[in-house]
Chain A
Amino acid sequence: MFRTLLRSTPVRQALGLVAVAGLVNLLTLGLAYLQIRDGIEDTLHANLAQNMAGFRIAATPAAIAALVRAEAEVADPAARVFVYIWPNGRTTGNAEARLDPDGLSILPRPGGRPLSAAGYLPQVERIAGGVLIVAESRAPLAELSRTFLRLLIFSLAPTVLISLGAGVLLARRSARRVARIEATLDQLGAGDLSARLPVPDREDDDFARIGRGVNRMAAAQESSVAALRQVSADIAHDLRTPMQRIAVLLSDLRERLPPDAPETAIAARARDEAERAVAVFRALLQIAQIEGGNTRARFAPVDLAALARTFAELYDPTAEEAGHRLLPDLPDTPVMVLGDRTLLGQALANLIENALRHTAPGPITISVGTDAGTATLTVRDTGPGIPPDERDKVLRRLYRLERSRTTPGHGLGLSLVAAIAELHSAELALDDAEPGLRVSLRLPLYST
């Protein structure tokens, strides 16, 4: 959670802003502090100089001591210290002081009042053989530091907290919108071109603009795909009729030629080619029609096991003649699903024909099974299969047409199966049967 928040752009921006605000705050306060501190120090120095000047008029140690004593009477040593060290080392004043080679030290007088904890700013002068020490407490400076520290805390903490909070809020809001955009893009990427992003009309920020852009792109894509499908369906429709007439005429021609004339074989070959073309057109049209999807209204309960048994039986002699073996593995009890019997049968027929046509003689297993509310229809061969990286592609919309032209063996038959699976909201899977191809169609069981 925290890590994802940190990764989001608004939170990073908020943190950046907090850093900048803090830095500016720190800089201003720092400069102000220095300025005021200098002022206070100047005042302290001026006070010292003034106090010192008053003592310079005295000429003897006794006179100075008297002046010091008088000042010390009224001065609080916590604020200001006056000490005179006599030439004989005796001290007079409101504190004790010692002058060592390594510096001056001010100590409280025994039984006297306490000294300032903040330390002192001293001035030392030799007067009349003794040493006069006047020191101002540093308390105002310490007080200043404390004040500025409080200022810093009181101004910086709210800035940081408020900008951080606002950043997180913005981040979550934008994260949700980004997630919606991502979800829509994923849907579009997965092939659902009808996916759209909800964008209210009154919104006009950058997210709304991106959202509208995504929607425009998806709509353009959708309409061009629809147009492409329509065009291919139209072409197939317009070409199928004349092509089928050609096939019929060629068939007639073949009938009228003498059976052993070389022309007869040519006519037969031409008719076969024409019929192949008709079959392709028919498959294309049927895919277009299934993708249109209005056949769903006519769905009825279908016994998948019985259907598979019918087709296994129908294809059995053909398979045997081609050297294959059809092995039905079907339950005796009905396996009911909701669907179109003709289309499901056609899907099964296409799978069986694919296996018959494009694999070397071997066993072909047709099985129907049930598992947790789903029925699975499987056709398995022992042929070369489809390489893993091609499997998804042969089922992908539009791609498959391109693919089926270059992949011998899994042509429009498999595309039609994919369209039928989609109509039934069935899951179509191609896997490696090691060896061979296993095509399975999973659809929900029908319960009354």
Chain B
Amino acid sequence: MKLLLVEDDQTTADYILQGLREEGHVVDHLTNGRAALGQATTGDYEVLILDRMLPGLDGLSLLRALRAARVTVPVLFLTAMDGVDDRIEGLQAGADDYLVKPFAFGELSARVAALARRPQMQAEETVLTAGDLRMDLIRRRVTRAGQEIDLLPREFALLEHLLRRKGRVQTRTMLLEAVWDISFDPQTNVVETHISRLRAKVDKPFDRELIRTVRGAGYRIED
């Protein structure tokens, strides 16, 4: 994937660059907002990662300028401020996702992957599968190896979210936002317990584990 990182803080930039390059991405790095505006409009990037505080042109203005110029590339906004106000301001300016600094690299990686593949998501699907697991969205039935699995509504929503993003890591905060519409991270491991309940029904009775834990990042469902 070809990515553009606009970040003036060297420590943070090194941390992100190293991680993304280790994952095999091609990453361009700029430190100035004004320079980034030109680069982002001409370069063919799959995802932009923008810091909010930048010399030259700050991240918010840069983002507004890009959207005004009809540059539709997905943008992940980085900020050191974790206020709800800032989050909303960023999303209103046209950001597709939002991450509060500092963050675990796994979180960034998962969100970048989610953004890049978002447009290819198919909304028409009525049956989702992973290995021998089958979810019928119309009848709201889940079977594995032909065996019916009885899920609570929220467990169904959680499994559906993972299935729709098969193969991609979903972090705890991403799951909280998508399944419960909660945009803060509770101190207790509430997501873990929901996942383990889901596993008890979906994976435990069978020989192969479909829902995988990705250390330091989140969860992923695989074929």
Contact = CB atoms under 8 A, between A and B. Distances in A.
Interface in A338-395: 340, 342-343, 345-346, 349, 353, 356-357
Given A279-B187, A315-B190, 19 more contacts: A241-B80, A244-B102, A286-B82, A295-B83, A298-B88, A310-B180, A310-B181, A314-B180, A315-B188, A317-B190, A317-B196, A318-B190, A318-B193, A321-B193, A340-B84, A342-B184, A345-B182, A349-B186, A356-B188
Contacts of B101: 241
A76 to B, nearest CB: 109
| Overall SS of chain B's interface | loop
Contacts of A286: 82
Contacts, number: 64
B120 interface: no
18 contacts: A248-B105, A279-B187, A285-B82, A298-B85, A298-B88, A314-B190, A314-B194, A317-B193, A317-B194, A317-B197, A318-B189, A318-B193, A321-B193, A349-B184, A349-B186, A353-B186, A353-B188, A356-B188
B84 A245 contact: no
The number of chain A residues touching the other chain, given as a range, is: 20 to 34
Interface of A: 241, 244-245, 248, 251-252, 255, 279, 282, 285-286, 289, 294-295, 298, 310, 313-315, 317-318, 321, 340, 342-343, 345-346, 349, 353, 356-357
A279 B83 CA distance: 15
Contact of A310 (B85, B102, B105, B182): B182
B197 A343 contact: no
The number of chain B residues touching the other chain, given as a range, is: 20 to 34
Interface string B95-139: 000000111110000000000000000000000000000000000
Contacts of A318: 188-190, 193
Interface string B75-91: 00000101111001000
Interface string B181-223: 1111011111001101100000000000000000110000000
B203 to A, nearest CB: 16
B141 interface: no
Contacts of B80: 241
A321 to B, nearest CB: 6
B18 to A, nearest CB: 11
Nearest to A278: B102
